[in-house]
Amino acid sequence: MGLWAYVWTVIAAGAGLAAWVVLTEDLRSIAGPYPAAFWTFAVLLTLLELRPVKWLRRQDGGEVTASWAYACALLLLSPSNVAILCMGAASLLGDLTQRKPLSRALFNASQVSLSLGCGALALTVLPYRETLISGEILTVGYVAAMIVAGAAIFLSNSVLTCLVLALYEQTPVWSTLRRTIGVNASTDGMLLAIAPIFVAIAQRSLVLVPLLLVTSYAVYNSARLALSRQHEALHDALTGLPNRRLFDDQAASALSDARRRGRRAAVILMDLDGFKGINDRLGHHIGDRVLQVLGKRLSESVRGSDVVARLGGDEFAILLRNVGDDAAVHAAANSLRQLVEQPCHIESFSVTVGGSFGIALYPDHGSEPQALTQHADVAMYTAKHAGGGVVTYRNHTRDRLGHGRLSLLSELRRGIDHHELILNYQPKVTLADRKVVGAEALLRWEHPTLGLIPPGDFIQLAEHTDLAGPITDYVLHKALAQCAQWHRQGLELSVAVNLSAGNLHDLRFPKAVAQALEEVGLDPAWLELEITENTVMADPTRSMTVLSELRDLGVTLAIDDFGTGYSSLANLRDLPVHVIKIDRSFVGTMATNTGDATIVRSILELAHNLGMRTVAEGVENAETWRMLADLGCHVVQGYFIGRPMAAGDLVERLTVMQQADGFEFVARRTTAA
């Protein structure tokens, strides 16, 4: 049976039940022997339907109200079945007041009416209803009758609810029932259980009815808190989307259903492109708003049976049930990508980001949720490495990204232990006398099967794990040992090492640097530590403490990638640094872009006025060299001077340059070649 066929069948059954009650009951005596209590319960029932507790776990926006206690109490208090009409009318009024679609309001009213009708049927079959209404002393049979009636209401309501939810989500009924039965029992079950207490109190005295309001509020509030905690445990706090835990649960259910029905499903992972720049330049509050807008946009664009989740950071996951062939899924992912790329209008301006999408299909690329997610992650990472787009996982793919990020990180730990990480060195040359004065240590990973892996594929991943510290220690000790060896060979070169945010936030780091320098017998002045503005701003107080201690140690400090971060003049003035490195994004195009040339000139003037030395990165031609020399830049590095190379190759190059008395000969020779 389809969803709408089921919905309209329930509505028709509910309408038929309501008509039967109207035609068979004597409406003049509906209140029974306790009219005041009856109408009090009816009013409370209606009021509580107007103020439901949202059941946030359900994708269809189901709700819990405290009205079940009063609906069941009406059924137990009156000889008629008019409680069914009261419950249905109150439900319909509450839904229409909240502007729910008419079909949904009619379904909800019919569902609760039919559930209460099952309870009325149980009371009719069992010969204890008259005893109950008369207020006589309770017996075991009477209590059993109430339990049976309450169970009938609870079970019928749970089944009717789970059926529509399963059809809506296209999930097995049993798994849906198993997933929701606990919450039903803790809310509806509890409310039905206290209904006889309400009846007993009302039969004694209406003076005690205010106590029922307190009890109802306690149950209502408990349900609200329980559902709120459950929602927090299963949803992302920022976007309100399902989190990884709920996504995995939904994926397992979807694959189970696909396996049983012989259908296909897909997992799509998406990582935003350019999101870090939004956080860095516009602030995290704008970044959060972008995530909220995109989360809502994605969730509204998929089918009701599909799931959109936020896994963390700027990574989202989409679960598609009952999909077609590879081309159809690829087209769906492309549509999502175009949706993401549409501008986000936030605080009177537009923000634009891109997205990298990875697709894994069931059963082609895995039969378990974990395998599909990992393979989608591999595909997504491949797309990101290629500059964005949509990539479908291929079983035969075996490149350096083929393991996925989690596998890559696990192998990175082994790579550190087995000395697979190597350092290349890019020379730095003074513009004034064309002499090589130092080299920047650049990390590479020689994977035993995947070949040479550049740092962009693993450094950023490692910075979010406990591997960041060991990697920095490895690079620092290896670079200092190499620098000391150069000095023993008569080459007075400094060595530059990049630091992460974790280093700047570690108050023990200056002591570790001092110890590493002492071990190789190197003067601190020959070590240059490069930081970025953003790493400092992540924790300014702690970073300033660490930087001050490093400067006091005698280490040279440089701001790397200057111009791409916060670039606050106040921060720059206060930072205990010696060198400004101008980012390659400005230097590389300054010969052809007057705007970038102006930015470079301004940075150089600023550095000169602050008494700082300057290094220009990304020098790739003689024209850029000449312009920087005219502007008074101190040191340059880039492919025009030399690519990153092994330490032995750097020594050989230096020997040639010494024989040629400087860089100019080598530059002419390289250009001619």
The Cα–Cα gap between 357 and 651 comes to 44
Q: What is the mean pLDDT of residues 59-88?
A: 75
Q: What is the mean pLDDT of residues 167-173?
A: 73
My answer on whether 225 and 322 are in the same domain is no
Evaluate whether residue 464 is within a structural domain: no
Bigger pLDDT: 231 vs 508 = 508
Is residue 242 within a helix (H) or strand (E), and if so which, with residue range?
none
Comparing CA positions, the residue from 619, 546, 620, 538 lying closest to residue 577 is 546
Q: What is the mean pLDDT of residues 544-553?
A: 92
Single residue among 375, 397, 419 that ends a domain in this structure: 397
Evaluate whether residue 278 is within a structural domain: yes
Confidence grade of residue 291 (pLDDT, cut at 50, 70, 90): very high
pLDDT at 281 over 90: no
CATH of the domain at 326: 3.30.70.270
The set of residues, in sequence order, having a beta carbon less than 8 Å from that of 482 and lying 6+ positions away, is 423, 425, 441, 495, 647
CA 330 to chain centre: 22
Single residue among 397, 424, 452 that ends a domain in this structure: 397
pLDDT tens digit string along 372-381? 988 898 888 8
Which parts of 484-584 are beta strand (E)? Answer: 494-498, 527-532, 556-562, 579-582
My answer on whether 212 and 298 are in the same domain is no
Range in 257-266, 380-389, 585-594 the model is least confident about: 380-389
pLDDT tens digit string along 611-626? 999 999 999 999 999 9
My answer on whether 285 and 355 are in the same domain is yes
My answer on whether 84 and 139 are in the same domain is yes
Evaluate whether residue 14 is within a structural domain: yes
Evaluate whether residue 205 is within a structural domain: yes
Q: What is the mean pLDDT of residues 312-323?
A: 91
Evaluate whether residue 663 is within a structural domain: no
Which parts of 493-623 are beta strand (E)? Answer: 494-498, 527-532, 556-562, 579-582, 613-616
In total, how many domains does the chain have?
Answer: 2
Q: What is the pLDDT of residue 58?
A: 37
Determine the Cα angle at 338 with ends 332 and 342, to 5°: 145
Evaluate whether residue 468 is within a structural domain: no
My answer on whether 339 and 212 are in the same domain is no
Evaluate whether residue 636 is within a structural domain: no
My answer on whether 358 and 262 are in the same domain is yes
Evaluate whether residue 430 is within a structural domain: no
> Could you list the residue range(s) of the whole structural domain that residue 136 is in?
3-233
My answer on whether 228 and 263 are in the same domain is no
My answer on whether 95 and 15 are in the same domain is yes
My answer on whether 229 and 298 are in the same domain is no
My answer on whether 199 and 294 are in the same domain is no
My answer on whether 325 and 362 are in the same domain is yes
CATH of the domain at 65: 1.10.1760
Q: What is the pLDDT of residue 613?
A: 94
Single residue among 233, 254, 282 that ends a domain in this structure: 233
The Cα–Cα gap between 551 and 558 comes to 11
My answer on whether 217 and 258 are in the same domain is no
Range in 14-18, 121-125, 484-488 the model is least confident about: 121-125
